[in-house]
Chains A and B, each alone.
Chain A
Amino acid sequence: MRLAFNTRPSIRRRLTLQLLTSAAVLAVVLFLIVSGFARQIGAESQDRILSASVASILDAVSVASGEVTVDIPYSAFTMLDNANDDRVFYRILQDGVVLTGYEDLPETTPGFATVAYRSETLRVVTATRRLSVDGAPVEIAVTVGQTRDAQAETLQRISRMAVYLGLGFFAASAVLAVLAGQVTAGSLRRLAGSVSRRGPQDLRPVETEMPSEMQPLVRSLNSLIGRLSTALNRTEDFIAEAAHRVRTPLATVRAHAENTLRRVDKEENRRSLREMIRAIDESSRAAGQLLDHAMVALRADQLELEPVDLNALTGELVDRLRPVAELKDMEIRIFMGEIGPIMGDAILIQNAVRNLLDNAIKYAPPETGIEVSTKTEAGFARLTIRDQGIGFPQADATRLTGRFARGENASGVVGSGLGLTIADEVARAHGGTLEMHNNTRSPGACVSLSFPLR
């Protein structure tokens, strides 16, 4: 089932978007500051040159034979020359009367001003100087004005540079923002990956490296895992306990039933009793397998590894099950190969092999043979059990390892469906495999257990 989350925009996208927005705002601010600064500097430098020009003209004002004359220095205007060939206008007033220069320049007061003149904008500077002509005070006012093309162009150039600067800043920030988004999303994704990569049985706490912001989440997750694990263990314990509790009374009931069978003569009653004993056997076996399975699930989490002699273990089991097989007139043949010890949990492996042998005896018809062989194959110890029974229904061979799954052609035989599950889980817990297929040349199933050799 797929959970329907209430999805919000991704963290990466939101983070990137926020960083980009602030970068854009900063870029605009940067542009405004730089161009504002440039405007100020430009205006100041033009004002300074105009002031110098005015000062040099004022210096050249003199009184000769009762008349004011002005000998404008050549440099007064050449210093105003610039790359943009800005136009220059000037006027010299003596007590408000035009002495020389452009008579139609707008009236100005001493200081700086920006005025409109001849359809142009002029920056003008005016300064005054007092002179004495024949003992009478005279005020000379010099005004020099200049168009602002150069300043406008400088401003434009700096503005263009400021635009590039802003764009560059924005582009660099954008790259960094995307990177930051990816790094942030990456650590989340890594955590998610390390959780989702876990096997179905892995309930260890999460211990990957993570940013401190994510630790509360991971702590909650670990606490959840812990509770889940405890709950699972409790369930397994419960099953084992239950199976155990069921098996003991069943054994008592079976003993009573056998005693009764011996004393009863009437064929009808004897058949019922035999049926009863068979059912008790099945229940007992199922309880045993449940117990086995619970134990496998429990022990698989914390394997107690020790060297196990697979040949010895198998021989022992075959010896133990031979009487059961002989009840069905079946013969078990053993072909042991040279195999070294494997590292494993002897109890679990014994469980797996017993379940497989059990299956073979149970599902194969009477008076057939079972072949048990071991060999070394590509770093694995391989145990193969062949029978001459009905075999697996080809389609669902792998499905059979699921809990309580049974082959479609096994309906005539009583079984819990846990045998292959146990064998498969044991194999996996040891890093090995369980393979199932039908014999190619003769009828019957072939089941192989492989364990890695150390």
Chain B
Amino acid sequence: MRQLVLSLALSFWALPIVAFETEELVLFPAENETVELRVISTADTELFAPFIAAFQADNPGISIAYYVVSSSEIMVALAEEGAAFDLAISSAMDLQVKLANDGLAQPFSSDRTRALPDWARWHDQVFAFTQEPATIVLSRAAFEGLPLPRTRQELIALLRDNPDRFTGRIGTYDVRSSGLGYLFATQDGRTSETFWRLSEVMGGLQTRLYCCSSEMIEDVAAGRIAVAYNVLGSYAQARNDLHDSIYIIAPEDFTTVMLRTVLIPESAEFPVEAGRFVDHLIRTSWQEADGAFSYPGITPDGLSGNASLRPITLGPGLLVYLDRLKRQQFLREWEAAMVQQE
């Protein structure tokens, strides 16, 4: 990278101006800077940096301030605190749709966005640029001598049959704090009752709760846990260094697929440059061009080829689980299943 990457690892560091919690702020300065785009994102910097470099190469003079936050913090920053950002990139589709639905995003239309299929954009405000499956990551060491589960039912059976091996060694999202974890869990619950049986079993085996996919992958690879449920497959695939110690399973009964989305907030100072960023993002992700993009780009057929893949639909349905009462009820049930010992 020809530009200096200034990485300020700011774990849970509160910026003086705003109160939302930033995990990391990375500056990608440009020579002869004319515009600084403020990007608020849930995507890990390492995975996103190559893309930003390619964007800056095509659009000289644009610096980028890249704020990494948790998905619910995007909501806090934009909806509650009215912070000014030019782009919001998130894996929590429901929150992105809510931002757009509540009028906190601005519409953007270009040849590229119009070329997107209907399922990949909502209200000309939310644009999908990746398709990332929720997978089960297994430790190779822990599964020695055991058949690999291909479905949730098989996983349930394995966990029940081998409580000694798995007690305290299962991980999944803490859906109370992780927006993406909540999205995956609600979609699972909506799709099949199996999810609740699995949650009961996992709760009985003292499942550990995580904030993020990357930590779960690290812990599985290191052997601290044996099974991580609902892990972003894209993150696991990206860790080439860990492939010797983990299996990545896309459950065959159904695999929830998340669409990572971008929107331009109402508060954007440079919507034109932000639009160029969106175009670049769509172009890169659709073409999966020359390694500049580490995420699985989206395919035109919307994964219709594989019957077990269930992409989450962008639309008002996503608002349902964000309802206060609905969320209360879901979390109450989830806690009852998953956190039985507490």
Contacts and interface: CB of A to CB of B under 8 A. Distances in A.
Whether chain B is bound by chain A comes out as yes
Interface of A: 69-78, 80-81, 83-89, 92, 99-102, 118-120
26 contacts: A70-B323, A71-B325, A71-B326, A71-B329, A72-B320, A74-B317, A74-B320, A74-B321, A76-B320, A77-B318, A78-B315, A80-B316, A81-B317, A83-B118, A84-B123, A85-B121, A85-B122, A85-B123, A86-B123, A87-B103, A88-B101, A89-B101, A100-B324, A100-B326, A102-B102, A118-B102
Contacts of A81: 313, 315-317
Contacts of A101: 323
A78 B323 contact: no
Nearest to A101: B323
Contacts, number: 64
A100 B315 CA distance: 20
Contacts of A72: 320, 323, 325-326
Contact of A78 (B100, B316, B324, B329): B316
Interface string B202-230: 00000000000000000000000000000
A119 B329 CA distance: 33
Q: DSSP majority for the B interface?
A: helix
Interface residues of B, number: 23
A73 B315 contact: no
B263 to A, nearest CB: 13
A356 B315 CA distance: 110
Nearest to B187: A74
Contacts of A102: 102
Contacts of B14: none
B15 interface: no
Contacts of B2: none
Contacts of B321: 74
Nearest to B332: A69
Nearest to B125: A85
Contacts of B103: 87, 118-120
B319 interface: yes
6 closest A-B pairs by beta carbon, nearest first, are A78-B317, A85-B123, A88-B316, A81-B315, A77-B316, A100-B324
B324 A73 contact: no
Contact of B320 (A77, A87, A99, A119): A77
A77 to B, nearest CB: 4
Contacts of A118: 102-103
A327 B317 CA distance: 131
A102 B79 CA distance: 13
Contact of A87 (B101, B313, B317, B323): B101
A84 B315 CA distance: 10
Contacts of B313: 78, 81
A88 B60 CA distance: 40
A80 B148 CA distance: 41
A119 B102 CA distance: 11
A120 B102 CA distance: 11
Contacts of A89: 101
A30 B45 CA distance: 60
A253 B329 CA distance: 146
A77 B124 CA distance: 19
A69 B317 contact: no
Nearest to B324: A100
A88 B325 contact: no
Given A72-B323, A87-B100, A87-B103, 16 more contacts: A71-B329, A73-B320, A76-B320, A77-B318, A78-B313, A78-B317, A80-B316, A81-B313, A81-B315, A81-B316, A85-B121, A85-B122, A87-B101, A88-B101, A100-B325, A118-B103
